[in-house]
């Protein structure tokens, strides 16, 4: 396997080029390149003997194309004919072109075309030498929607390419998903759809994706696409400290085989049994300095040996590697329970939306995580399980003020005449002033304050609630709307004291350092507070007035969204306390669930396992728990008697000592009766063991 003499030189040049890219450009274009070790691992999983043409539509400086070429040479039985790529940045495209030319001088018959252009432009797409490739391998740019200048440009370009790609019957699924993906999606979602579109029937799609593609709602279109148009073959996951050390979430490698147009035409609800894919987890100890699996195999081509090993082992472990089957039928069940009410789903799965199981008011299907399957009895009736919301517990996110610098203050002490002395944020020099006590609401802002509160310290954080107070210069609008206030039963705002009014005026003109030269009163999340007076239907609102607080802002219980250890659900003692968006929140719809019962329920061994399994592992070993994930937590039928017992147990439940957990788990195992495969104590022990195993997988290794 002779390689050009300048192989290492050109790769070193690529690394130096990447390191010198301006940080702002890297963030804007998502220029965080794959690297050769990860590229070779993915390429060996995706290559087959039939692979002849390869495309990377977001090629960067050529890591994945270089890795694919080298993997093909190591295999010896893969004869590549084309290595093509697209790169939006001209300088990066030129380096990629130079790199592949330098590395491929002795590859007879191989052609290479690196296009300098936007992959979402129809002109670029039509310029590709090949429009359907045996392998499309790419690391889509992970650019958050807030950083994208125009989501529409990607969506419109994608739709134009779909229209240019083939027959109308072939386009239905692709067009519906391109039109239907959420505007909150990061750029990796449309980029992945575009990459999938370029794969020929029976060809392979190989992607590097953030693990959130399976947990975030906006990733559901991609999950559906991979089930509808592809045969998912491998999902490979890293563990701490991860392949991308700066990434906040885990990384997945995806390999899937493209189905024929005929197979794709059949909705998932009309298909028979589904096969299994293989889930592979790779720990750092599997690798060495040259390969992510070098230690696990210790051979000249460890990636090739790993690909052969996992292809023949449905389940197993090997020095830092874990392989297990993953049911695509379960993937489908999990997806449809979440997506059934979305318009794109209803268009593509018309048979499903009429079934009682999927009506808006009925129970959605529940899927057991792999870690729980061997604890569940074979004859367990999983249809008896209910989601939190179906049980009467709503889930949401705490308060987003739009500008914490202004709305969050610290209380220093109460003064006479209904006033309280506060300190503003450092953005205003920690200014001290007197404000009406009635204009303040206690708030839990972060986890450190929760620790203090549990030690008996009062919360010092306050929210400026100025819904009943106006600046003197706004009093005229209030006077004009007086009849509207009275007709709607609303309080007519008072004029602010001078000290407070002066602070509000100064804040309106203040420009936070991280807000692109916008004044606080002009921030997009603050401007939405403004409302004009509509006689008889709406009174005026001003930028300094927060919207009315909702149940999710003043919940019965809450859990941190980012958990560095075990997540813990705590309840709210004071109904006046607001909970910040740093927390996911819970409350009862009909009052049947007390705050203590919710706390006990979710801290049970059952609740802890599902929080660990449903959450998203992030950089540094943290676990992110979003409301959309917690809504999927399934529960057995809970009787009034069980709720009363959970309420009593929750009152004695403490995190530090674990006091009361045994009582909680006894109630839950009684409710789960006939669902587990062993005795009650063994079931609880199994739940906690699997929870701890999941937790250890995400925690960072000691230095």
pLDDT band for position 33 (cuts 50, 70, 90): low
333 and 220 together in one domain: yes
pLDDT band for position 619 (cuts 50, 70, 90): low
| Residue 431 located in a structural domain | yes
| Residue of 412, 453, 422, 456 lying closest to 583 (CA atoms) | 453
pLDDT higher than 50, residue 701: no
Pick the residue with more confidence: 689 or 240?
Answer: 689
204 and 304 together in one domain: yes
Q: At which of 343, 373, 390 does a domain end?
A: 343
Query: Which pLDDT value is given to residue 695?
Result: 86
| Residue 375 located in a structural domain | no
422 and 330 together in one domain: no
Give the per-residue SS3 of 129-163: CCCCEEEEEECCCCCCHHHCCCHHHHHHHHHHHHH
| Residue 387 located in a structural domain | no
Query: Which pLDDT value is given to residue 418?
Result: 93
Per-residue pLDDT averaged across 462-483, rounded? 96
Token pair for 642: 């069980």
- Count of residues in the chain: 703
Pick the residue with more confidence: 540 or 243?
Answer: 540
178 and 236 together in one domain: yes
pLDDT higher than 80, residue 238: yes
Q: At which of 474, 506, 527 does a domain end?
A: 527
pLDDT higher than 50, residue 530: yes
Query: Which pLDDT value is given to residue 251?
Result: 84
Residue with tokens 């080029």: 17
What is the count of structural domains for the chain? 3
498 and 562 together in one domain: no
pLDDT digits (tens, 9 = 90+) for 600-615: 999 999 999 999 988 8
Distance CA 602, CA 273 (A): 34
| Residue 94 located in a structural domain | yes
Burial of 680 (0-12, 13-18, 19+ CB in 10 A): middle
| Residue 478 located in a structural domain | yes
Pick the residue with more confidence: 456 or 305?
Answer: 305
- Bin 601: left if φ > 0, else alpha if -120 < ψ < 50, else beta: alpha
Query: Which pLDDT value is given to residue 76?
Result: 85
pLDDT higher than 60, residue 356: no
pLDDT higher than 60, residue 150: no
521 and 569 together in one domain: no
pLDDT digits (tens, 9 = 90+) for 62-112: 899 999 999 999 988 888 999 999 998 898 899 888 888 887 744 566 788
| Residue 547 located in a structural domain | no
Query: Which pLDDT value is given to residue 334?
Result: 79
Query: Which pLDDT value is given to residue 248?
Result: 53
| Beta-bridge partner residues of 624 | 562, 616
pLDDT higher than 50, residue 146: no
Pick the residue with more confidence: 247 or 147?
Answer: 247
512 and 570 together in one domain: no
pLDDT digits (tens, 9 = 90+) for 407-440: 999 999 999 989 999 999 999 999 999 999 999 9
Burial of 668 (0-12, 13-18, 19+ CB in 10 A): buried
| Residue of 145, 212, 175, 120 lying closest to 344 (CA atoms) | 175
574 and 520 together in one domain: no
pLDDT higher than 50, residue 361: no
55 near 136, Cβ under 8 Å?
Answer: yes
pLDDT higher than 50, residue 148: no
| Residue of 121, 182, 128, 527 lying closest to 338 (CA atoms) | 182
pLDDT digits (tens, 9 = 90+) for 176-228: 999 999 887 888 899 999 999 999 999 999 999 888 788 778 889 999 999 99
pLDDT band for position 479 (cuts 50, 70, 90): very high
Q: What rounded mean pLDDT belongs to the chain?
A: 85
pLDDT band for position 34 (cuts 50, 70, 90): low
Q: At which of 508, 527, 546 does a domain end?
A: 527
309 and 443 together in one domain: no
pLDDT band for position 473 (cuts 50, 70, 90): very high
509 and 576 together in one domain: no
Out of 62-76, 232-246, 462-476, 669-683, least confident range:
232-246
| Residue 365 located in a structural domain | no
Query: Which pLDDT value is given to residue 367?
Result: 62
Cα-based torsion angle of the residue sequence 59, 63, 64, 66 in order, rounded to the nearest 10 degrees: 110
425 and 298 together in one domain: no
Query: Which pLDDT value is given to residue 326?
Result: 87
Query: Which pLDDT value is given to residue 517?
Result: 75
pLDDT digits (tens, 9 = 90+) for 482-500: 999 999 999 999 999 999 9
Query: Which pLDDT value is given to residue 295?
Result: 92
Residue-range definition of the domain harbouring residue 186 = 7-343
In degrees and rounded to multiples of 5, residue 378 shows phi and psi of -60, -35
DSSP 371-383: GGGGGB-TT--GG
Which residues lie below 8 Å from residue 364, measured CB to CB, with a gap of 6+? 337, 338, 340, 357, 358, 387, 390
- Counting residues of the chain whose pLDDT is more than 70, the rounded percentage is 86
Which CATH number is 89's domain given? 3.40.50.150
Query: Which pLDDT value is given to residue 354?
Result: 47
Residue with tokens 């990733």: 219
| Residue 237 located in a structural domain | yes
Distance CA 700, CA 622 (A): 9
CA distances from 332 to 237, 301, 329, 356, 490 (A): 20, 35, 5, 18, 49
CA 72 to chain centre: 34
Burial of 253 (0-12, 13-18, 19+ CB in 10 A): buried
Per-residue pLDDT averaged across 535-564, rounded? 95
Query: Which pLDDT value is given to residue 362?
Result: 38
């Amino acid at each position: 396997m002779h390689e050009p003499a300048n192989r290492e030189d050109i790769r070193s040049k690529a690394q130096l080029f990447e390191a010198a890219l301006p940080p702002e450009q890297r963030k804007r274009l998502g220029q965080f390149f794959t690297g050769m070790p990860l590229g070779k691992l993915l390429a060996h999983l995706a290559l087959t003997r039939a692979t002849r043409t390869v495309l990377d539509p977001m090629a960067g400086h050529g890591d994945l194309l270089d890795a694919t070429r080298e993997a093909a040479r190591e295999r010896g039985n893969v004869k590549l004919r084309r290595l093509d790529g697209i790169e939006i940045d001209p300088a990066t495209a030129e380096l990629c072109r130079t790199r592949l030319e330098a590395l491929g001088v002795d590859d007879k018959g191989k052609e290479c075309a690196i296009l300098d252009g936007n992959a979402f432009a129809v002109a670029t797409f039509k310029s590709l030498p090949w429009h359907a490739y045996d392998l499309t391998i790419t690391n889509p740019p992970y650019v958050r929607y807030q950083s994208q200048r125009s989501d529409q440009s990607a969506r419109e370009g994608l739709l134009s390419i779909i229209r240019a790609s083939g027959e109308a019957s072939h386009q239905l699924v692709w067009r519906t998903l391109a039109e239907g993906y959420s505007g909150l999606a990061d750029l990796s979602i449309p980029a992945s759809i575009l990459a999938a579109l370029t794969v020929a029937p029976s060809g392979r799609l190989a992607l590097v994706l953030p693990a959130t593609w399976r947990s975030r709602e906006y990733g559901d279109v991609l999950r559906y696409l991979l089930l509808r148009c592809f045969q998912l073959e491998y999902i490979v996951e890293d563990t701490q400290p991860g392949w991308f050390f700066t990434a906040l979430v885990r990384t997945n490698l995806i390999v899937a085989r493209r189905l024929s147009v005929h197979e794709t035409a059949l909705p998932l609800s009309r298909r028979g049994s589904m096969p299994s894919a293989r889930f592979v987890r790779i720990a750092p100890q599997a690798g060495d300095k040259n390969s992510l699996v070098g230690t696990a195999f210790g051979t000249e081509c460890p990636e090739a040996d790993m690909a052969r090993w996992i292809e023949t082992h449905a389940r197993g472990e090997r020095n830092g590697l874990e392989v297990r089957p993953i049911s695509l039928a379960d993937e489908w069940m999990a997806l449809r329970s979440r997506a059934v009410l979305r318009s794109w789903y209803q268009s593509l799965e018309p048979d499903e939306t009429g079934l009682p199981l999927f009506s808006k008011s009925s129970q959605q299907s529940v899927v057991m995580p792999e870690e729980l399957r061997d604890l569940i009895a074979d004859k367990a009736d999983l249809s008896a399980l209910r989601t939190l919301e179906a049980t009467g517990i709503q889930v949401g996110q705490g308060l987003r003020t739009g500008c914490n610098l202004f709305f969050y203050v610290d209380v220093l002490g109460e003064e006479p005449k209904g006033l309280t002395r506060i300190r503003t944020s450092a953005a205003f020099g920690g200014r001290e002033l007197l404000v009406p006590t009635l204009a303040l609401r206690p708030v839990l802002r972060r986890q450190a304050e929760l620790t203090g509160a549990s030690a008996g310290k009062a919360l010092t954080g306050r929210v400026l609630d100025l819904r009943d107070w106006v600046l003197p210069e706004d009093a005229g609008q209030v006077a004009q709307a007086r009849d509207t206030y009275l007709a709607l039963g609303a309080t007519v705002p008072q004029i602010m004291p001078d000290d407070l009014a002066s602070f509000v005026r100064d804040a309106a003109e203040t420009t936070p350092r991280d807000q692109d030269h916008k004044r606080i009163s002009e921030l997009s999340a603050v401007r939405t507070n403004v409302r004009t007076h509509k006689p008889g239907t709406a009174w005026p609102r001003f930028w300094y007035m927060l919207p009315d607080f909702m149940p999710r802002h003043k919940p019965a219980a809450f859990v941190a969204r980012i958990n560095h250890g075990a997540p813990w659900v705590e309840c709210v003692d004071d109904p006046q306390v607001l909970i910040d968006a740093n927390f996911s929140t819970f409350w009862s719809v009909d009052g049947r669930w007390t705050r203590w019962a919710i706390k006990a329920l979710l801290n049970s061994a059952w609740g802890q396992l599902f929080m660990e399994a449903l959450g998203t592992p992030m950089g540094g070993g943290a676990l992110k728990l979003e409301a959309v994930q917690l809504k999927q937590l399934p529960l057995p039928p809970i009787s009034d008697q069980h709720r009363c017992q959970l309420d009593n147990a929750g009152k004695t439940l403490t995190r530090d000592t674990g006091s009361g957990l045994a009582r909680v788990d006894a109630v839950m195992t009684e409710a789960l009766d006939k669902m587990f495969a062993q005795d009650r104590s063994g079931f609880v022990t199994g739940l906690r063991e699997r929870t701890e195993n999941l937790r250890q997988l995400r925690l960072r290794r000691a230095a």
